[in-house]
Amino acid sequence: MRAARYAEEEYGGVVVLVGAQRGAYPFGNSLLVRGADATLVVDPSLSLVEAAPHADVVLVSHAHEDHVAGLGSYDVPVHIHEQDVAGLRSREAMVAGIGLPPEAVGEADRTFRDAFHVRDRPDATGFTDGAVFDLGGRTVTVVHLPGHTAGHCGFLIEPDGFLFVADIDLTSFGPYYGDLGSSLGDFEASMRRCREIDARWYGTSHQKGVIEGATEFRKRLDDYAGVVERRDAALLSLLAEPRTVAEIVEHRLVYRPHIEGAHVMPVERRTARQHLDRLLESGSVADIGDGRYRAT
């Protein structure tokens, strides 16, 4: 996997470093934020490996490989939410958080090491919601947006009015909450929190880039959240007949049938289980015994 240069797009005092392929995975979009006293980079992506701009400090939105691939270029303080700090300090912990079958862990570790240049950062320190990084005339405030991972965060940059929402990325794939530390309920709460923040620009990590204006952002966010509703509806339709969890997983709520990989079935299982649990709680689905479920 070759590192690629990035394109620069300016939004006030915020420079978006647009990754190759419009930031589509395995690439991503990074931020460069300059103040009078310090310069900060957010989420150094694979595109920064060979061309990292200067920074005095690095912030990471969450401990996934595509958001730290360029981190090796920086021997400066690096910060991440305290609930994701273990995954940044240790590649082993980052890989473990995906929840792969044991036989797939070694290959994933090699991919993170060789393709994404992930190295242990034992110096990484944790922040909490509301932490402020003052760069001199420009501030970056942490907005905790869990669900994708437990420590997933956005960053509000002022006075520019730029909210980076990271992997609440507004793509047609929809919200991803399939890791061991992911949470559907938390992801939905995070989307609601984003909706309440008025900003001039909203930056995403992948493909959709920057959306201007709260009205347009909220429209796209509603469409994105609608993917969760469609997964609920698909599960209820499937449970018109009694099904086991294994049968639900085979049907797939997340990935298209042609997608393969060691991560696919674990992600499908965890996603299906979260949707099933809340439909059971609401009374829309009943446990009819023998490991089978049916819509009521």
Asked if residue 78 lies in contact with residue 89, where contact means CB atoms within 8 angstroms, the answer is no
Measured in degrees and rounded to the nearest 5, phi and psi for residue 111 equal -65, -45
- What is the reported pTM? 0.96
pLDDT in tens, 151-208: 999 999 999 999 999 999 999 999 999 999 999 999 999 999 999 999 999 999 999 9
Question: pLDDT digits over 110-129, tens only?
Answer: 999 999 999 999 999 999 99
The neighbour count for residue 176, using CB atoms within 10 Å, is 20
Does 3 have pLDDT greater than 70?
Answer: no
Cα torsion angle, 257, 224, 46, 117, sign: negative
